[in-house]
Amino acid sequence: MYFIANWKMFGSLNSLKSLDKVIKFFKNFKKNTSSKIIYCPPSTLINPMFKKLKKTPIQVGAQNCHENQNYGAFTGSINTIMIKNAGAKYVIIGHSENRQNGETDKLINTKIKSALKSGLKVIFCIGETLKEKKKNKTNRLLNKQITRGLNKIKSKKNIIIAYEPIWSIGSGLIPKSKELFETIKFIKKKAKNLKVLYGGSVNPKNINELNLINNIDGYMIGGASQDAKKFIDIIKKTYI
Check pLDDT > 90 for residue 102. Answer: yes
Q: Which amino acid is at 66?
A: H
In this structure, of 16-30, 78-92, 222-236, the range with the lowest mean pLDDT score is 16-30
The pLDDT of residue 28 is 85
The mean pLDDT value of the chain amounts to 96
Check pLDDT > 80 for residue 153. Answer: yes
Residues with Cβ within 8 Å of 45's Cβ and at least 6 positions away in sequence, in order, are 7, 11, 12, 13, 15, 16
Which residue ranges make up each domain of the chain? Answer: 2-238
Active-site entry in 95, 97, 103, 128: 95
| Catalytic site includes residue 209 | no
pLDDT digits (tens, 9 = 90+) for 17-45: 999 999 999 988 866 568 999 999 999 99
Fold observed for domain 2-238:
TIM Barrel (3.20.20)
Q: What is the DSSP string of 138-154?
A: HHHHHHHHHHHHTTT--
The pLDDT of residue 170 is 87
Q: Are 91 and 62 in contact (CB under 8 A)?
A: yes
The pLDDT of residue 27 is 87
| Catalytic site includes residue 66 | no
Task: State the sign of the Cα–Cα–Cα–Cα dihedral 172, 37, 96, 9.
Answer: positive
Active-site entry in 67, 103, 128, 164: 164
In percent, the amount of the chain with pLDDT more than 90 equals 92
Q: What is the mean pLDDT of residues 159-180?
A: 94
The pLDDT of residue 90 is 99
Helices (H), the chain: 19-27, 46-53, 80-85, 96-99, 105-117, 130-134, 138-149, 177-190, 207-211, 228-238
The pLDDT of residue 32 is 56
